[in-house]
Structure 1
Amino acid sequence: MKLLRYGAKGAEKPALIDAQGVLRDLSGVLPDITADTLTPHGLQRLRELDPGTLPVVANPGRSAPPWSGMGKFICVGLNYADHAAESNLPVPAEPILFTKTRSCLVGCNDAVVLPQGSVKSDWEVELGIVIGTKARYVTEADALKYV
């Protein structure tokens, strides 16, 4: 099961892609895909649904950002050697962490609005990991239990 959101800006709907690759509307059972949806309990609730009972979405239109209402994103800069090399920077000894607000997300074909006066921008294509369980000071050996 793959989760996504579709529709016009401000009117996005939640959906899933079932095992046969059919896009199904979730808005009758779920108002939106939020942090609560992505918890173990929320995902289990979705797994218990029979996708065949959900309406088929024939023409989804715009692909929206995958979730709504998240507060911020914690990012890692220069997270692989090739990126450091293409930036002419050394591979850092420690991770470079920074945050981004949810307004940085756009749908896959949405326009990216640059700040007025901006002279340079850089696109990002990154792996996202959703931490589905509260965690703090987790060992590397236990890390995947929280993803």
Structure 2
Amino acid sequence: MRLLSVGPPGEERPAALDDEDVLRDLSAIAPAIDGDLLGDPVRLRLIQDLIALGNLPIVADGTRIGPPVARPGKVVGIGLNYEDHAEEAGVAIPDEPVVFLKPSTSVVGPHDAIELPPGSTMTDYEVELGVVIGRRACRGSGAGPRCER
């Protein structure tokens, strides 16, 4: 199942590509592609079944493809996480992962303009993998406060 969002910036609605690469509108059955939806296997299965039936509305050709996930809470990056990238950057391979945060506004559609912060002189725009965690993440068993949803 290939989920995405479509529509003008700020007005995106959920959609999916079916097995025939037809873009289908999911807005009648899901408010957004977000952590709540992606963390709910029952709703995902229902959406998968409805997509397979092929009777969801078709999204018009030329409709903008938006960010893959609506309203991400955090964007956590891991830098220099493979040897070729460290060599390409001309830096030593770090002993520990290089972890950094990006603003949620850094998530955009595949053809959207990248907005640079004022005074920015260099942009790094690559990503190899995105992971969506649909449930509140907590520390290991017993250590730290319990997370409840």
TM-score band, normalised by the shorter chain?
A: 0.7 to 0.9
Q: Which runs of 5+ in 2 are unaligned?
A: 142-149
Shift of 1:137: 3.7
**Where do residues 28-47 of structure 1 align in structure 2 (5 Å cutoff)?**
28-39=28-39, 40-47=41-48
Q: Is residue 2:68 matched to residue 1:66?
A: yes
Shift of 1:6: 0.9
Shift of 1:33: 1.1
RMSD over aligned Cα atoms: 1.9
Match of 2:115 in 1: 113
Question: Taking every aligned residue pair, what percent have the same amino acid on both sides?
Answer: 46
Please identify runs of 4+ aligned residues in structure 1 that moved more than 4 A.
Answer: 132-136
Q: TM-score, normalised by structure 2?
A: 0.82
Q: TM-score, normalised by structure 1?
A: 0.83
Q: Which runs of 5+ in 1 are unaligned?
A: 139-147
Shift of 1:131: 3.2
Kept in 1, the 8 Å contact 2:36–2:135? The answer is no
User: Deviations along 1:42-99, whole A, 9 cap, x unmatched?
Assistant: 3223223254120112314211001112210221110111110111111112211111
State how many pairs are aligned: 138
Structure-2 change in CA distance of 1:60 and 1:4 (3 Å): farther
In 2: Cα distance, 1:95 partner to 1:125 partner: 16
Structure-2 change in CA distance of 1:23 and 1:50 (3 Å): closer
SS in 2 for 1:49: helix
SS in 2 for 1:83: helix
**Where do residues 8-27 of structure 1 align in structure 2 (5 Å cutoff)?**
8-27=8-27
Kept in 2, the 8 Å contact 1:33–1:66? The answer is yes
